[in-house]
Amino acid sequence: MVSTELNHAGDWAEQLVTILERNLSRRGLAGVREHSQAVREFRSACEYIVRCRPVLGIVTGFFIPQAGAWESDGPPGAVFLGRCLAQLGYTVCLYAEADLAEILRWALQECSASVAVVAFPDPQWAASWWPAEAARFGERTLSLVCIERPGPAHTPNSLAQACREPHVMEEFLACVPETDWDRLHTMSGQDVTAYHWPVHAGLESSPLRLLAIGDGGNEIGMGKLPWPRLAQAIPQGARIACRIPADWLILATVSNWGAYALAAALCLLHRDWVLFSRLAHAERDLWLEVCRAHLLCDGVTGQLANHDDDFWVDGFPWRVHAAILDEITGILRTSLP
């Protein structure tokens, strides 16, 4: 049974968003959007998925050149969400560069999950890729979920379309060098464009619906927030703020948490908290096993994700992430009869 209006004490969307916003200040995102708006948007995204049942394409992957590896924030959330959606009866597909796609496949095989993984083609086909993918599913609607995926910074043209105040353009031209226009950046401002397939190439002119999850301002979807606000709030924000907007944007202290919360909400709307609890219970062991065969790194420290006999994401040991999963599970348990 599926319901978008659960009769229970409290507000599931408000409770989940509150968890995601708990430490947004560490990267400057606290206060860039009203809490009530974040709750409405989170609820709207979940209800769209349940009501319209689109084919869901999950895109992830942020490469850290210094470590020579993909970071551990993004892939776990993508696999968790993909497994959850598949077991709830949705058609889902994960997308990534070839080497990361292999890691995602390995993780899915390790937990016996039947979820398709597609490696991006040669970049020359980027502009026509998403329309071709949408056509592959026939009459079923393809919608995308981007989790911790870097997106291109603003250009004068994109900023002029987003904001018509002259002083904003003057500020942009004064503080953002042309070498940073239309480039993908890390939080520290390093240009990582060359390491990533241009996911955004076909999105700006595409009718595909996009749900984006991010934690730093430099990810696809952050174009939904005004450039002046990100420029002021985030270190290096003027240079790194992504221009690509999303229909729904989920801000989270850690992007994986946003994916976990989305999966939880969908389990709740399908009245199946046991599914979420089962996936959450095995999450640490799964990714420790993945890291024994493949490299992932902590995107904050640059160290291998599996060190000190633990799995690290965004500078946090697993106990921090486990506490979030436990708290989310508790919300599900108390929200369903």
pLDDT the model gives residue 2: 53
Q: What is the CATH number of the domain that holds 301?
A: 3.90.1640.20
Distance, in Å, from the CA atom of 171 to the CA atom of 71, rounded to the nearest integer, reads 32
- Encode 78-111: b = buried (16+ Cβ within 10 Å), e = exposed: bbbbbbbbbbbebbbbbbbbeebbebbbebbebb
- Residue holding tokens 């801000």? 251
Per the structure, the count of domains in the chain is 1
Note the pLDDT of residue 203.
Answer: 84
pLDDT for 68: 97
Contact 74, 213 (CB under 8 A): no
Closest CA relative to residue 91, chosen from 36, 49, 129: 49
pLDDT at residue 312, rounded to an integer: 98
- Does residue 6 belong to any structural domain of this protein? no
Q: Can you read off the two tokens belonging to residue 266?
A: 């969908």
Q: Look up the domain containing 305 and give its range.
A: 12-335
Sheet holding 248-251, edge to edge: 116-119, 92-96, 55-60, 142-147, 209-214, 248-251
3-state secondary structure of 146: strand
Q: Is residue 5 part of a domain?
A: no
| Sheet strands (E) in 49-124 | 55-60, 63-64, 69-71, 92-96, 116-119
pTM of the complete model beyond 0.85: yes
Per residue of the chain (337 residues), what is the pLDDT tens digit? 455 454 443 589 999 999 999 999 889 999 999 999 999 999 999 999 999 999 999 999 999 999 999 999 999 999 999 999 999 999 999 999 999 999 999 999 999 999 999 999 999 999 899 999 999 999 999 999 999 999 999 999 999 998 888 899 999 999 999 999 999 999 999 999 999 999 999 888 788 999 999 999 999 999 999 999 999 999 999 999 999 999 999 999 999 999 999 999 999 999 998 999 999 999 999 999 999 999 999 999 999 999 999 999 999 999 999 999 999 999 999 988 7
249 lies in a domain? yes
In a domain, 3, yes or no: no
In the structure encoding, which two tokens stand for residue 11, read together? Answer: 């507000």
Residue 5 CA, chain-centre distance (Å), reads 25
Distance from C-alpha of 314 to C-alpha of 320, rounded to nearest angstrom? 11
Instruction: Name 71's bridge partners.
Output: 297
In a domain, 4, yes or no: no
Q: What is the largest CA-CA distance in the chain?
A: 57
**Cβ neighbour number for residue 308 with a 10 Å cutoff:** 9
Closest alpha carbon to 332 in 8, 86, 76: 8
Q: Is residue 281 part of a domain?
A: yes
In a domain, 17, yes or no: yes
Give dist(CA 124, CA 83) in Å, integer.
31
Residue 1 counted as domain residue: no
